[in-house]
Amino acid sequence: MKGEAGVIERAASLPVGLPKRTRRRMLTGLAGFARRKPLGALSALIILAIIVMAFFAPLVDRYDPLIGRLPERLQGPSPAHWFGTDDTGRDVYSRVVHGARGALYVGFLSVMIGVAAGSLLGLASGYLEGKTDLVIQRLVDSLQAFPPLVLALAVASVLGPSDNNSMLIIGLILIPGAARVVRGSTLSIKNNLYVEAARAVGAGTPRILFRHLLPNVFAPIIVLASVYLGSAILVAASLSFLGAGRSEPAPSWGLMLAGQGKRYLELAPWMAVAPAVAISLTVLSFNLLGDAIRDVLDPRLRGR
């Protein structure tokens, strides 16, 4: 739980102590983004609310998410239990709040792993070409040959169910897409004059990759990461739903949909509706924010 809180805190933190002019410029940029992309701005607010809720879960929950009260089992939404209770009397709202921690923890770290590894492979493949490009692309093709969820379940059956294993599994299945996107961007800019000038003055391959190419392909990497966050959270919930992620009694959105959520769907639909809405809202918000960031960063789409 400490690791989850640390990751979420770093993701939600903003730089402090900035000069006044820089702060004013940031606020002006955010206001312009909100005017041009209202859906993107609304999605960012929703994501920020979910991050704050997850980080301060012990302060915003109402009951212990692991302790049930049998006399209160299967109660519908009420002032005492906003989202109702499950078959063991646990508060569904509290479990949804604490489930956000696991979802964001797995989502952020898996995307960091997948996008970082894929970006390195894409940079090397696009710049070096030749045999290096051939080997990397065949590796990427072999990973993409398997449906993502099937590959995730196969690896999970070997590693076992846990948050850390889910993080590694999801990072693995995100690598091919990131590698292909970064490779394409690298191929389009590797012959620019500033790269030729760097080679002419004797700059080594690592310097060219990380000093001249990486900053210029960073925009698609940011867009890719924002879009992948929604997919990573969805895959994490799917793994928990299929028994390859978090296990009981840990609060997890996927677990809440599986088992009791299916068994009591007609008698107590709130048990499945609450986590389903949380997953849908989070994934949709990340996708809309990713689209808005793409439109802002891509000069070909700024005029639309």
How do the domains of the chain map onto residue ranges? Answer: 2-297
Instruction: Take residue 262 and report the two structure tokens written for it.
Output: 């299916």
How far is it, in rounded angstroms, from Cα 232 to Cα 185? Answer: 23
Is the per-residue pLDDT at 16 higher than 70?
no
pTM for this one? 0.78
Is the per-residue pLDDT at 67 higher than 60?
yes
Neighbours of 221 (CB within 10 A): 19
In three-state form (DSSP H/G/I as H, E/B as E, the rest C), the secondary structure along the chain is CHHHHHHHHHHHCCCCCCCHHHHHHHHHHHHHHHHHCHHHHHHHHHHHHHHHHHHCHHHHCCCCCCCCCHHHCCCCCCCCCCCCECCCCCEHHHHHHHHHHHHHHHHHHHHHHHHHHHHHHHHHHHHHCHHHHHHHHHHHHHHHCCCHHHHHHHHHHHHCCCHHHHHHHHHHHHHHHHHHHHHHHHHHHCCCHHHHHHHHCCCCHHHHHHHHHHHHHHHHHHHHHHHHHHHHHHHHHHHHHCCCCCCCCCCCHHHHHCCHHHHCCCCCCHHHHHHHHHHHHHHHHHHHHHHHHHHHHCCCCCCC
Confidence of residue 23 (pLDDT cuts 50, 70, 90): low
Q: What is the CATH number of domain 2-297?
A: 1.10.3720.10
Is the per-residue pLDDT at 42 higher than 60?
yes
pLDDT digits (tens, 9 = 90+) for 209-239: 888 888 888 888 888 888 888 888 888 888 8
How far is it, in rounded angstroms, from Cα 157 to Cα 304? Answer: 46
Tokens 């986590």 belong to 275
* Mean local confidence (pLDDT), 137-161: 80
What is the predicted pLDDT for the residue at 299?
Answer: 54
Q: Residue 137's closest CA among 170, 185, 204, 184?
A: 184
Is the per-residue pLDDT at 160 higher than 80?
no
* Burial degree of 108 (CB within 10 A; 0-12, 13-18, 19+): buried
Of 23 and 54, more confident: 54
* Mean local confidence (pLDDT), 171-194: 86
How far is it, in rounded angstroms, from Cα 230 to Cα 178? Answer: 15
Confidence of residue 7 (pLDDT cuts 50, 70, 90): very low
